[in-house]
Homo-oligomer: A and B are copies of this chain.
């Protein structure tokens, strides 16, 4: 039941979700940031967790409440493993910015445990496990971020019951600029942001969102930035959240003026994501400037669609 390997290291990319009309449905893995999870066997019983890396300090929960601990305890219970697993999480994805930070840790941890404990769980089962970590961290059982971080590329969550996730080839030639202010975190606000989503939607709004999502997927499938740009940032949930995202209007306007095809809130924000092609550097600069002008300290990165969670070979980079 246990792999011949005494330790397994997995890295998983950050992700953006929604892109506007794809609320709780669409995820896209990005190579802007990544988490690394190392799992290893130790003498004794249970799970021990250590967190390090540039954003370790941002995890306010004690390690016991961390997504990776929750996942490991659940996996151990479910497979009846009676030993002890040590987890080391290298937190490379900024926390609470809307970049699927807990989703990346969760996806990396789920895949690492699958290998270490020789669980033989399939993708759906691993997403379900990772969703438990996401739930522990965010209070919401959505699958868009964990699916993207696990499978890579563009992922569509077709249904939650039963869980149905499809991976589409990511548009390789597109670039995404991710930008957020360090001062703001949605970590404590995810629930507020989810609460801001309207409870009731009119048929017209519903059809409008269906149309935007159709255009968005068609654009992503065909790698057509103009089409994607027309749909990005639309949708009833995005609209309801805008007032809760600091700097939204000015940063968005700056990005569009600099040549971005579209801008949307990344996940639950506060990060914004802009779609670009060859003008990525100009868009990044414009977004940075717009944040500074509003008194924020911005973090801005140009990202490509990323592959999903993957094993770091022995002898590779240390966590």
A residues adjacent to B (C-beta < 8 A): 21-26, 156-160, 164, 166, 168, 197-203, 206-215, 217-219, 221-222, 227, 230-231, 236-237
Contact = CB atoms under 8 A, between A and B. Distances in A.
Nearest to A212: B158
Given A25-B214, A164-B211, A217-B221, 16 more contacts: A156-B214, A157-B214, A158-B227, A159-B208, A164-B230, A166-B215, A168-B218, A197-B203, A200-B203, A201-B201, A201-B206, A206-B236, A209-B210, A213-B213, A213-B214, A221-B221
A211 B25 contact: yes
Contacts of A21: 210
Most buried by B among A23, A201, A227: A201
Given A213-B214, A214-B22, A218-B166, A198 B203 contact: yes
Contact of A159 (B201, B212, B219): B212
Contacts of A230: 158-159, 164
Contacts of A218: 156, 158, 166, 168, 217
Q: Quick one: copies of this chain in the complex?
A: 2
15 contacts: A21-B210, A25-B210, A25-B214, A26-B214, A156-B211, A156-B215, A158-B227, A158-B230, A159-B212, A166-B218, A166-B219, A168-B221, A201-B201, A201-B206, A206-B206
Contacts of A201: 200-203, 206
A217 B215 contact: no
Contact of A210 (B166, B200, B202, B213): B213
Contacts of A199: 202-203
Contact of A211 (B159, B198, B207, B227): B159
Contacts of A197: 203
Contacts of A156: 211, 214-215, 218
A206 B208 CA distance: 11
Most buried by B among A23, A24, A158, A160: A158
Contact of A164 (B202, B206, B207, B215): B215
Nearest to A200: B200
A211 B157 CA distance: 6
Most buried by B among A24, A199, A210: A210
Contacts of A219: 166
Contacts of A212: 158-159
A201 B206 CA distance: 8
A113 to B, nearest CB: 27
A292 B157 CA distance: 39
Contact of A25 (B25, B166, B198, B207): B207
A168 to B, nearest CB: 6
Nearest to A197: B203
